[in-house]
Structure 1
Amino acid sequence: MVRAAYLIGTLVLTVGFGPAGAAQNKTQPAPKPERATFRVLGLFSPDRETDLREALKAVPDVTWVGVNFADAELTVEFVPAKAFPGTKPEQIAERFDQKLRDATQHTFGVKPRRTVPRDKLKEVVIPAPILDCKACCLAAYEAVAKIDGVEQATATFKDGGKVTALIDPAKTDRAKLEDALRNAGVSIPKM
């Protein structure tokens, strides 16, 4: 039997031709999109949400659902076979990260959601009065966010400038964050 599939609206029409050439029609629904939440990188201030929403439009077959700035998480919908053909489920975060980085000149990316409960993390706030623009904030954010043990970070030039990080104290500490900022050219006042 020869089969052919046709996409009609949200239904897929499968037509089979038997030995006598008579068409046999079967309909089956199109695959439903899956919803997934990822930790988003590059979301260092609330105004970057608009930038992220616009950037996601350049990632084919992935649809914005929402963002949780407090947890730095992005929720999207996609049909895995269409958005990430040939990708195993455990590789989707990596493939999505590549597509998002390509679409944003590496200013946004994703990782799997954090596994450390929020109540086990420590918030570290570092004054950084030198931060006076969005680009400076991005550089400070990137210096801190790449450190192993930093689960979330923000940077702002408002209110005098500061970098805030949610860290796993078993993996990193304030001194490592300050060193990374100094290495990126961010001067930190002595406390």
Structure 2
Amino acid sequence: MVVGFGTGGAAQNKGQPAPKPERATFRVLGLFSPDRETDLREAFKAVADVTLVGVNFADAEVTVEFVPAKAFPGAKPEQVAERLDQKLREASRNTFGAKPRRTVPRDKLKEVVIPAPVLDCKACCLAAYEAVAKIDGVEQATATFKDGGKVTALIDPTRTDRAKLEDALRGAGVPVPKM
């Protein structure tokens, strides 16, 4: 959820100080490998009235700063993640997105690593990432062609499992070796 989000956006009158920027942390979609951080930073340069403050690859989160009334006019606090998602998708040609922070504690998540030796470029990794990241219960995913190729996902085991991830990869044309 949005951290420290307040009203901060009343119309300015002469003599009144400018509204103070708010900071918030969101999950970021599309950050499937560490080298994508550069692409993410470039995309944020095109997101009007929102400043990227930090990237946490380990948790797939970004911290941003903005004046609510300027960056997201008329948005209620619960709509900010959706509005940021729209702006980020537009700026990145739909390769990045934003969501509220996950609500499931990390210690309740299970890491699943699936070998994917056919992954040999960024585009292949993006396709594999997108196949698993959209599954309900996948809280975070990465895909890499380094070290022989693999897809890694943090999942909520009460909502999904390895078999669903493997099926999604096969459906995206990524052969998955039998374990």
- TM-score, normalising length from structure 2? 0.92
**Alignment match, 2:7:** none
- Structure 1's unaligned 5+ residue stretches are 1-11, 15-26
SS in 1 for 2:74: coil
Q: Which of 47, 67, 73 pairs up with 1:59?
A: 47
Residue 27 of structure 2 aligns to a residue whose secondary structure is strand
> For residues 106 and 172 of structure 2, what CA distance do their matches in structure 1 show?
28
Structure 1 counterpart of 2:159, which letter? Answer: K
* Residues in 2 aligned to 1:70 and 1:64: alpha-carbon distance in whole angstroms: 17
Deviations along 1:122-151, whole A, 9 cap, x unmatched?
A: 000000000000000000000000000000
* Alignment correspondent of 1:24: none
Distance 2:47 2:111 in 1: 33
CA distance in 2, matches of 1:80, 1:47: 30
CA distance in 2, matches of 1:32, 1:59: 19
Q: Secondary structure at the match of 1:29?
A: coil
Greater strand proportion: 1
SS at match of 1:70: helix
Cα distance in 2 for residues equivalent to 1:174 and 1:91: 32
Residue in 2 that maps onto 1:43:
31
Q: In structure 1, what is the equivalent of residue 150 of structure 2? A: 162
Give me the whole-angstrom Cα distance separating, in 2, the residues matched to 1:136 and 1:112.
27
Give the C-alpha shift of residue 105 in structure 1: 1.0
1:184 aligns with one of 172, 175, 179: 172
- Paired AA for residue 30 in structure 2: G
TM-score by length of 1: 0.87
In 2, the alpha carbon distance for the partners of 1:13 and 1:32 equals 14
What is aligned with 1:33?
21
* Structure ID, larger Rg: 1
1:1-191 equivalences in 2 (<5 Å) = 14=14, 27-191=15-179
Question: Following the alignment from structure 1 to structure 2, what is the Cα–Cα distance between the partners of residues 82 and 123?
Answer: 39
Q: RMSD of aligned C-alpha atoms?
A: 0.8
Report the alpha carbon displacement of residue 104 of structure 1 after superposing the two structures with TM.
0.9
Which amino acid counterpart does residue 146 of structure 2 have in structure 1?
K
| Bigger relative contact order (CA 8 A; separation at least 6) | 2
- Quote the sequence identity (%): 87
2:141 maps to a residue whose letter is A
Structure 2 Cα separation of the partners of residues 107 and 158 of structure 1: 20
Moved beyond 4 Å, runs of 4+ = none
Q: For residue 3 of structure 1, what is the aligned residue in structure 2?
A: none
